[in-house]
Structure 1
Amino acid sequence: MELTPAEALAESARSRGLALQLDDGTRKSHSMAENTAFVTGFFKGISTRPAFAQLVASLYFVYEAMESAFDKATDPSVKALDYPELRRVPALEDDMAYYFGVDWQSTVRPTAATKEYCDRIRSIAVDEPPLLVAHMYTRYLGDLFGGQMMGGMARSSLNLDDALGTRFYEFDEIPRAKPFIEQWYARLNDLELDAGAKQRIVDEANLVFAFNIKLFDELQGGKRAVLRTMWGLAKGAVVSRVGKIFRRS
């Protein structure tokens, strides 16, 4: 029987359980993350290649911390949701080589905001592994939902070489994102967690959004720093030129 839209929504895993709790509980944080200056600028096509490269670098360090934690995890909640198709580190390694060269591992270091984010991942991996579910939810599902659009925008606005520099956004083993996400949500709802553990996962997801906002703000701050430097140089040049004029008169 074909479902009507209302019936389909009622049957969706997103309409119940921890899936619904996470979606509802992070709605405000999600909106704040989407409206950071870097993200809005990116979608307007005004992001710069250095800023995007720095974003790729930050994401590499975050995903390396996440997926290393998943590899070591024995917690059943983490193992249940750790789909190989979602893993991003190999794709990010390709992107890092594109932006920073083949020796990027010896030259690129995490920023302060990135390090804080990664430290949190490593901390909860030891102290409370089920909270890693919040990091899976916030990053992987966001990547799947918006990845193709983000990758396309980056290629067109930054004039990237064809099929290079945006491997992170390509999920080759997931041809249809929506059914996959629905399956992921269904498995999320099947986790055997008490009410307190579920709420802590929601709280952690909000913290993850805050970490991502810091990454974007740091990128935007870097652009402001460049502008301040350029303004300082321009101002100095004007003052110097005016001084020469007065000295000549």
Structure 2
Amino acid sequence: MEPQLPASPQQPQAATPAPLSVLLAEGTAKLAAQAERSLFIQSLFFDAWEGGIYGQYVRAQHYVSHLRQLHTLYAAFEAALPHVMGTTLTTALLLPELRLASALEADLTYFCGESRADTFACVETRLHAERIREVAEDAPHLLVAHAYARCVLDVFSGHRRARRITDAFELAEGQGTTFYGTVPEAGLAAFRVRFHSRIDGLELAEDETREVVQEARMAFRLHALVCDELARGATGIAAGPHADAR
């Protein structure tokens, strides 16, 4: 009887990498929470304001300023999309729910009669838009990071903000809040699943995945800079206790 050879030691299996959506959520969670709690966002969407015509007027000024900055960013994002046409990034970045510049124009027209967004972009917003244009030219896969940040900051919390604005300005439903209502509330969960599925399906190298997460962190930081600038010296906005944004 032949002696049995010792069994070969089993090779440890390589850990399955986490999906990109999970890595983005984990890598940006703190920055996303800080953005939601920024002084400007808290004051505009969650704090109580003095009533009356003057209070509504001041708050409307801040809301319009906010929409103008967003319009600059979304216009830059949409202008960058031709760089990914015909690539594997198309399925994740060409979702209609991410093309919101026209919705912002509609809201600005409602409040102002016209949009005139570009001339009202602050330095920080122009810096943010320039970064979007830069990565579109040099590293288009990083546009995924900016799409993810905008979904977290705007789309996923949109209906809650729309209700706040509607109540603050005593608007009919949908007036002046087209941007925040682009994805129907009943379809928001399905859109979140679809968006995450699209970015998880991207064929990115390991180093590209790390770059996307780092770029998303930068996108949240740039957003915070914009909010800080909007709050600086703004009437009716002051540091202090603020309502819970959740």
- TM-score range, shorter-chain basis? 0.7 to 0.9
Where does 1:39-188 land on structure 2 (aligned, <5 Å)?
A: 39-41=41-43, 42-46=45-49, 48-74=59-85, 76-81=87-92, 82-102=94-114, 104-105=115-116, 108-160=119-171, 162-171=173-182, 175-188=186-199
- Relative to structure 1, the CA distance from residue 173 to residue 133 in structure 2 (aligned partners, 3 Å threshold; closer, same or farther) is same
- Relative to structure 1, the CA distance from residue 80 to residue 156 in structure 2 (aligned partners, 3 Å threshold; closer, same or farther) is same
Shift, 1:55, TM fit:
0.2
Shift, 1:167, TM fit:
0.8
Shift, 1:215, TM fit:
1.5
Shift, 1:214, TM fit:
1.1
- The aligned residue for residue 27 of structure 2 is 25
SS of aligned partner of 1:223: coil
- The aligned residue for residue 213 of structure 2 is 202
Shift, 1:224, TM fit:
6.0
- Relative to structure 1, the CA distance from residue 118 to residue 196 in structure 2 (aligned partners, 3 Å threshold; closer, same or farther) is same
- Relative to structure 1, the CA distance from residue 105 to residue 49 in structure 2 (aligned partners, 3 Å threshold; closer, same or farther) is closer
- Relative to structure 1, the CA distance from residue 33 to residue 172 in structure 2 (aligned partners, 3 Å threshold; closer, same or farther) is closer
Question: Distance between the aligned counterparts of 1:214 and 1:106, measured in 2?
Answer: 18
- The aligned residue for residue 37 of structure 1 is 39
Shift, 1:193, TM fit:
0.5
| Structure having the larger proportion of residues in helix | 1
- Relative to structure 1, the CA distance from residue 87 to residue 226 in structure 2 (aligned partners, 3 Å threshold; closer, same or farther) is closer
Amino acid at match of 1:30: A
Q: Over residues 8-62 of structure 1, what are the superposed CA-to-partner deviations in whole Å (9 max), with x where a residue is unaligned? A: xxxxxxx941111000000111111111111222212438111111000000010
Question: Distance between the aligned counterparts of 1:79 and 1:173, measured in 2?
Answer: 23
Amino acid at match of 2:102: P
Question: Distance between the aligned counterparts of 1:44 and 1:31, measured in 2?
Answer: 17
Amino acid at match of 1:100: C
Question: Distance between the aligned counterparts of 1:106 and 1:198, measured in 2?
Answer: 33
RMSD in angstroms over aligned alpha carbons? 2.5
Question: Distance between the aligned counterparts of 1:48 and 1:218, measured in 2?
Answer: 16
Question: Distance between the aligned counterparts of 1:166 and 1:206, measured in 2?
Answer: 27
Question: Distance between the aligned counterparts of 1:43 and 1:177, measured in 2?
Answer: 21
TM-score normalised to structure 2 length = 0.78
- Relative to structure 1, the CA distance from residue 139 to residue 226 in structure 2 (aligned partners, 3 Å threshold; closer, same or farther) is closer
Which runs of no fewer than 5 residues in structure 2 stay unpaired? Answer: 1-16, 50-57, 239-246
Shift, 1:168, TM fit:
0.5
Amino acid at match of 1:128: A
TM-score normalised to structure 1 length = 0.77
Question: Distance between the aligned counterparts of 2:39 and 2:220, measured in 1?
Answer: 15
Q: 2:224 aligns with which of 213, 216, 219?
A: 213
Shift, 1:75, TM fit:
6.5
User: How many pairs does the alignment contain?
Assistant: 212
Contact map agreement 2:71 2:105 (CA 8 A) in 1: yes
Amino acid at match of 1:48: R
Q: Over residues 133-160 of structure 1, what are the superposed CA-to-partner deviations in whole Å (9 max), with x where a residue is unaligned? A: 0011110243231100001101112334
Shift, 1:120, TM fit:
0.5
Contact map agreement 2:36 2:153 (CA 8 A) in 1: no
Question: Distance between the aligned counterparts of 2:74 and 2:118, measured in 1?
Answer: 18
Q: Over residues 46-104 of structure 1, what are the superposed CA-to-partner deviations in whole Å (9 max), with x where a residue is unaligned? A: 381111110000000100000111134337343121212332111111012122223x3
- Relative to structure 1, the CA distance from residue 56 to residue 18 in structure 2 (aligned partners, 3 Å threshold; closer, same or farther) is same
